[in-house]
Amino acid sequence: MAVLCKPVIAVPDNVITCEQTLELARRLHKDHPQLGLTLRLIENTGVQKRHLIRPIDEVLEHPGFDARSEIYEEESKARVPAVVRQALDEAELTAADIDLIIYVSCTGFMMPSLTAWLINTMGFRHDTRQMPIAQLGCAAGGAAINRAHDFCTAYPEANALIVACEFCSLCYQPTDLSVGTLLSNGLFGDGVAAAVVRGNGGTGMRLERNSSYLIPNTEAWISYAVRQTGFHFQLDKRVPGTMEPLAPVLRRVAAEHQWNASELDFYVIHAGGPRILDDLSRYLGVAPEAFRFSRATLTEYGNIASCVVLDALARMFDEGTALDGHRGLLAGFGPGITAEMVLGTWVKADYDADVLPQHNYGTLDDGLRDPAAP
């Protein structure tokens, strides 16, 4: 069965803290009639800091959608390759071993997709399949894992590479003053993540069952308005309550696999906000500690969209507490409202860690920018 290997995540050097975010909101929106509510909501996210591809002063200056598109292409080409190389190393594979690249991003647009550039510049075979996913938002991390699982089920000897590239700061819109938009300005961060799904071998989460679910009549709850100035994020106040209808779905998917969703060994959940995790803890009857990986991602990086589940999974790898045979659930949530869910068992490959390939990527920008990039 396909195994999801250790993800690699990198974030930019530019940091904005919660205190700085609150001070900016007070300064920029001092006359907003709901400023007090907005400040309380930002404080309650639990986000302590976020990382941005550009300094906050540049983020606050909207240079136009065309300029932002150029920044997206420049930054993705500079930052993705080093993360991809490290993810391949974690899976003990090379670029030539990859049969499918799944690229997910909801914060910028390129055609052809970055997958074409990666194939041409990083040594991937020219018959490597491409699957760009652009419109699933935060759910795309889970969707990418599920589509990789499907591919490796259809082609058991194949390997898939997942790349998530999210520059949420490029979606800042200074003229949008709804409470939901102002809240998102204090919630989202930037990051790049990559992981390999191996058809055979590997250490990590053996993917066994995946499922998707869309909550009826909620497509307007998380959305973009696409205008001349770019992507305008729209968030409905009912979004934090979506775990009430989704928790039974998670239970049903687990039951179809003869598992009890309340009695699993690990949980990797997209944390769009703390209430998502609090409600899941309550509705599933799971201890809050079970969601520590997702909560740590939210606290340290903010909501990094499709990268969240990959970062949370990497934290579980780093903790080293998962044992052979441990059963777990990974789930991503996003526009639709869509849930992408996968069940799997932890497996450990037999290999000698001393012979794993090693690379030196330098120290530029926490290893996120590739020194060899243009």
The residues carrying an active-site annotation are 138
Q: Do the beta carbons of residue 305 and residue 179 sit within 8 Å?
A: no
Q: Mind giving me the DSSP string for 277-338?
A: HHHHHHHHT--GGGGHHHHHHHHHH-B-GGGHHHHHHHHHHHHT---TT-EEEEEEEETTTE
Q: Is 176 exposed, middle or buried (0-12, 13-18, 19+ CB in 10 A)?
A: middle
- Residues forming beta bridges with residue 160, ordered by sequence position: 100, 197
Q: Distances from the Cα of 157 to the Cαs of 30, 344, 374, in angstroms? A: 59, 19, 34
Evaluate whether 213 touches 339 at the Cβ level (below 8 Å). yes
In order of 125, 215, 332, the CA distances from 246 in angstroms are 40, 8, 11
Separation of alpha carbons 58 and 288, rounded Å: 38
Calculate the CA dihedral of residues 358, 360, 364, 367 and round it to 10 degrees. Answer: 0
